[in-house]
Amino acid sequence: MELINLTMIWALIIGFGIMMYILMDGFDLGVGILYPFAPDEHARDVMMNSVAPVWDGNETWLVLGGAGLLAAFPAVYSILLPALYLGVFLMLAGLIFRGIAFEFRFKSTRNRHWWNVAFSGGSYVATFCQGVVVGAYIQGFATEGHIYVGGAFDWLTPFTVITGLALVAGYALLGATWTILKSEGEVQAWAYRITPKLLIAVLVGFGIISLYTPFVDEYVRERWFNHIGMFWVFPVLALCCAAFIWRAVSKRLEGQPFVATLGLFLFTYLGLIFSKWPYLVPPDITIWDAASDPGAQLFLLIGVLFVIPIVLGYTAWSYWVFRGKVQDGGYH
């Protein structure tokens, strides 16, 4: 065991990057998911305005995560992307349509409804695909060495469809609690109304997945039922967060529902990682197998350690600048 283990550092960096992406892009994708159910066009304006200043900063974590994976854990990159080939395409297409809708919806009057469709449809497709990725990850991948040997549709199973739908519900919950935080009046009242329904949907979804997972994955079954004391801490914490959301909504608190939803996601994410640890590409490849050459890891680490604090600072600053409620026509 070295004093400073590069692979562990990179596992932390990439893990952190993916978590940042899920928590942050999650709520702006969620806003898109809620779009068809919004009470009126004014509510849609408010919702879009609430995420407009920050969404592309949120998405940059995805690109950084992708490039970082290639550099630090190339086996993950070269197995997961071919395995999820069609899903990756759909996700990118969804994100692109969403991105242009963000820019052009406000610049458009006659065709605004088309941009609504692009924004919402892109959000649904991208979220569902990300949920499918999570499900496929739990299932594991057919590999020989560092090559994916499965078929084009291995990622599409009843289980992954459930994880996809569960993530749609989960991001919608993030979007709804974010809307509570950022809006007032009727829009906020609507967000308060839908949050409990979404929470129930999320709990049902996560519950089905938790019951289902031991059946699709022996390794997890082994892990869960042999280390009982340790691994039940994450679902318990996640349930505490859910109870807290419920309470905060019934008390009409504004900030806590969103924070508690972030907590719900965080503990679910950590629970998933620890269920699989140290496997990075289940069922065969550990983080040590997937790692690139230490020289390459070190070469990139220098730049990343320099830039990540700047990106975090910039992110914090943008959220600070755009704090508070969205008014008609934007922030004031």
Subset of residues 113 to 152 that bind another protein, contact rule: CB under 8 A: 146-152
Number of neighbouring beta carbons within 10 Å of residue 151: 10
Residue 117: what residue type?
V
- Chain positions 160 to 199 lying near another protein, rule: CB under 8 A, are none
Q: Which is nearer to another protein, 211 or 306 (CB)?
A: 306
User: Distance between alpha carbon 313 and the CA centroid of its chain, in Å?
Assistant: 21
56-64, 171-179, 245-253, 270-278 -> range binding another protein (CB under 8 A): 56-64
Q: Which is nearer to another protein, 143 or 213 (CB)?
A: 143
Q: Which is nearer to another protein, 241 or 304 (CB)?
A: 304
In this structure, are residues 27 and 51 in contact, taking their beta carbons and an 8 Å threshold?
Answer: yes
49-57, 180-188, 208-216, 277-285 -> range binding another protein (CB under 8 A): 49-57
Decide: is 304 part of the binding site for another protein (CB under 8 A): yes
Decide: is 36 part of the binding site for another protein (CB under 8 A): no
Binding residues for another protein, how many (CB under 8 A)? 72
Candidate residues 8, 9, 19, 70; the one interacting with another protein per rule CB under 8 A:
70
Decide: is 231 part of the binding site for another protein (CB under 8 A): no
**Triad 129, 63, 301: Cα angle to 5°:** 135
Q: Which is nearer to another protein, 112 or 221 (CB)?
A: 112
- Chain positions 79 to 108 lying near another protein, rule: CB under 8 A, are 79-83, 85-86, 88-89, 92-93, 95-97, 99-100, 103-104, 106-108
CB of 249 to another protein, least distance (A): 28
Distance separating alpha carbons of residues 271 and 135, to the nearest angstrom = 14
Q: Which is nearer to another protein, 64 or 199 (CB)?
A: 64
Decide: is 299 part of the binding site for another protein (CB under 8 A): yes
Decide: is 233 part of the binding site for another protein (CB under 8 A): no
Decide: is 292 part of the binding site for another protein (CB under 8 A): yes
CB of 68 to another protein, least distance (A): 6
Cα atoms in the Cβ-side hemisphere of radius 13 Å centred on 118 = 17
CB of 298 to another protein, least distance (A): 9
The DSSP 8-state label assigned to residue 281 in this structure reads E
Decide: is 32 part of the binding site for another protein (CB under 8 A): no
CB of 30 to another protein, least distance (A): 18
Distance separating alpha carbons of residues 136 and 316, to the nearest angstrom = 33
Q: Which is nearer to another protein, 80 or 173 (CB)?
A: 80
- Among 268, 267, 262, CA closest to 248: 262
Distance separating alpha carbons of residues 294 and 281, to the nearest angstrom = 20
Integer angstrom CA distances of residue 126 from 133, 195, 248: 11, 22, 29
Distance separating alpha carbons of residues 84 and 137, to the nearest angstrom = 10
Decide: is 256 part of the binding site for another protein (CB under 8 A): no
Distance separating alpha carbons of residues 181 and 242, to the nearest angstrom = 17
Distance separating alpha carbons of residues 128 and 134, to the nearest angstrom = 10
First to last CA, the chain: 54
In this structure, are residues 69 and 33 in contact, taking their beta carbons and an 8 Å threshold?
Answer: no
Decide: is 75 part of the binding site for another protein (CB under 8 A): yes
